[in-house]
Amino acid sequence: MPASPASDLELMRASAYLESDPATAARRASGILLIDPGHTPAKLLLAAACRRLGDTGRALPVIEAVAAENPAVSAIQLELGRAYAAAGRPAQAIAALRRAVALDADLIEAWRELAALLFAAGDEAGGDQAYAHYENRSRDPPGLIDALAALTDERLDVADRLLRARLQEAPRDVVALRLSAEVATRRNDYLEAERRLQECLALAPGYSQARYDLACAYFAQQRPERVLPLIERLLRLEPRHTLVRMLKARTLRLVDRAQESVAILEALLAEQPDNDKAWVLLGHVRRELGEQQGAIDAYRRAIAARPEASEAYFSLANLKTVPLAAADVGAIRTLLARTTLLAVDRVRLEFALGKALEDEGAYAESFEHYARGNRLHRATHPYDADAATVAVRRSQALYTPAFFGARAGWGSERADPVFIVGVPRSGSTLLEQMLASHSMVEGTRELSDLSLVITELMAQAGAREETAYPDFVARLDRDTIAAAAAQYLERTRSHRPLGKPRFIDKMPANVSHLGLIHLMFPKAAIIDARRHPLGCGFSCYKQLFVWGAPYSYDQGELGRYIRDYVELLAHFDAALPGRVHRVHYERLVAAPEAELRALLAYCGLPFEDACLRFHENRRIVQSVSSEQVRRPLYSEGIDQWRHYEPWLGDLKAALGDLVERYPGAAAEGG
């Protein structure tokens, strides 16, 4: 019997109660069926309402009968699957949901519920595949449009407020959780991002975008042991995913598996020969391996694939050992003349052109481009010089001789770490390469592990505000300091594949943590790499760093940072006499063996001639000085800043008397 208009109208009214009052929906659906027993939509509504009421004994016979009569209706198979799931019959539920999506691949809720059942059954691969179908077909909730717009415009405070409001309304909204993690990531709050993304994946184990974001957050923290399992799971789902393969290539660089990284990139480029970003990444890996010509060829391929590839031009210039060709300079000038050039591309090209003109000896024009690149970059990278100075003053106030005396004997007995600090471009990579050439010392890279350990310490102590550091350290007890040292050693273990007795942590920013380093590792070596303040300052100013060093893009802020650095180290010299060993770059270049012997003696290591032949060490070097430290010692770059002295007035003014006080400066006329 065909459905009557009256039955259809009553069905509409009854359906309105399904979410809020399933008992009423069931009662009204039953009323329709009394009058119209063959009304299939009413049967479907009755089954759904009974399921929501937990009455699967009543729901199942109804929906099974409807499904038998209508085997090709996807919505009916979806409800059948839901009823079987509610009744604790997962195998039948999975079969019904598979039939539903086979009938209608755009039935996104069926994909999501199928994924959940497959995960519950232990079928991780099947669950990932089902959720990928859901993820690919679903749209962001309408309530997130404004938050997405705010994120796009880098209005992080607005995005954060909107996302928090959304999560108050819908705490299980996994898209909102992922976007809130993105806000935290952009603020460099990786612990908060990690927490949000883990919560997201607990609710939606197959959410591949959240898994990729989590892998990126771990990568930013240099935690390859956590990145790689996430990547492997993503690649099982989508083996040819470009971004995931590139992230794997980047991650393998962190664990000294650079050749595997090369193999991944070469396979990717065989499929995508016009992928300029992959060519640039391949160039970076080859540079780190010491394969300079291979790096140059890769950067050239990136430019051939996309002539606007600013990162490739910058990377060629950043090799520092091979000048750009006249054709490159012409191409860069043409690109800079474009009014539509993106800011990030313009910054890279300004620095590249500055270096090319420096190599030509055109110092005045070179400085113009360096200065323009610095201004542009500084405009989008905030830095608070006053806050940085206040942080130094807090360290000076806290870390007194009395403070350390009251905590004598605290921390780890281990002397494994060799901490190298310094203003960037002060010769720290050269020191690292020399020490890493010793048979008992393992070179690593600029590690972020200490900062992450400190962030976790602050979170445990309820000290999340930046202004709480380092004052909160005074509240830590002996056991907490020992535990932090043990955690640091555990976290850095993945960076020590050779298992040598000592390893290097060359993170310039660790200067902010010298007091805590001493508490955690009173027997570890701490080395201060020092260079003429104008030589070091100008070398920073002309360098576009991949990350960090936000103070280096304004001469006044840069000079102030160097002055604060020197004052902080002078304070530790007074509070802990002899604790920090200082190496002046100029002295190291002039008398390498004498300086090296003194350094090794301080570290408690026997002298080895291999340390003087550091340029023969084929280890991977990831800093911007990678090409220089593969050459024997040379002095040509020491006075390079003098070519630019007429334009360094702001730097000089900010440095104050540091130039005159620097060892040998008066004799040099500096």
Can you give the three-state secondary structure of 78-147, one letter per residue? HHHHHHHHHCCCHHHHHHHHHHHHHHCCCCHHHHHHHHHHHHHCCCHHHHHHHHHHHHHHCCCCHHHHHH
Tell me the chain's radius of gyration from C-alpha atoms: 31
| 399-449 pLDDT tens trace | 999 999 999 999 999 999 999 999 999 999 899 999 999 999 999 888 888
How would you classify residue 604: left for phi > 0, otherwise alpha for psi between -120 and 50, otherwise beta?
A: left
Query: Would you state the pLDDT for residue 223?
Result: 85
Residue 637, amino acid = G
Mean pLDDT score of the chain: 91
* CA distances in angstroms from 196 to 193, 227, 315, listed in the order given: 5, 16, 35
Tell me the sheet residues that pair with 580.
Answer: 526
Q: Is the pLDDT of residue 633 over 90?
A: no
Q: How far apart are CA 620 and CA 534, in angstroms?
A: 29
> Model confidence over 390-413: pLDDT tens digits?
999 999 999 999 999 999 999 999
Per-residue pLDDT at 636: 60
What angle do the packed helices 40-52 and 5-15 form, to 10 degrees?
A: 20
Model pLDDT, residue 620: 54
Report pLDDT for 540.
Answer: 96
Q: How confident is the model at residue 371 (pLDDT cuts 50, 70, 90)?
A: very high
Contact between residue 395 and residue 517 where contact means Cβ atoms under 8 Å apart: no
Short-list 397, 387, 428, CA closest to 550: 387
Q: What is the pLDDT of residues 484-532, one digit of tens each?
A: 999 999 989 888 888 999 999 999 989 999 999 999 999 999 999 999 9
Q: What is the pTM of this model?
A: 0.83
pLDDT in tens, 228-258: 999 999 999 999 999 999 999 999 988 888 9
Q: How far apart are CA 474 and CA 222, in angstroms?
A: 28
pLDDT higher than 90, residue 582:
yes
- Looking at residue 466, its pLDDT comes to 65
What are 505's strand-pairing partners?
419
Token reading at 414: 């281990």
Is the pLDDT higher at 574 or at 140? 574
**What was the pLDDT predicted at 4?**
62
Beta-bridge partners for 441: 502
Asked whether 516 and 572 are in contact (CB, 8 A), the reply is: no
Greater confidence (592 vs 3) lies with: 592
Burial track 565-588 (b if 16+ CB lie within 10 A, e otherwise): bbebbebbeebbeeebebbbbbbb
Closest by CA position to 527, among listed 663, 421, 662: 421
Model pLDDT for residues 175-204, shown as the tens digit of each residue? 999 999 999 999 888 889 999 999 999 999
pLDDT at 637 over 50: yes
pLDDT at 415 (0 to 100) = 96
Percentage of the chain lying above the pLDDT 90 cut: 79
Element (H or E) spanning 582, and its range?
A: strand 580-584
Domains in the chain, ordered, with CATH? 5-137 (1.25.40.10), 385-664 (3.40.50.300)
Query: How confident is the model over 291-334, as pLDDT tens digits?
Result: 999 999 999 999 999 999 999 999 999 998 888 999 999 999 99
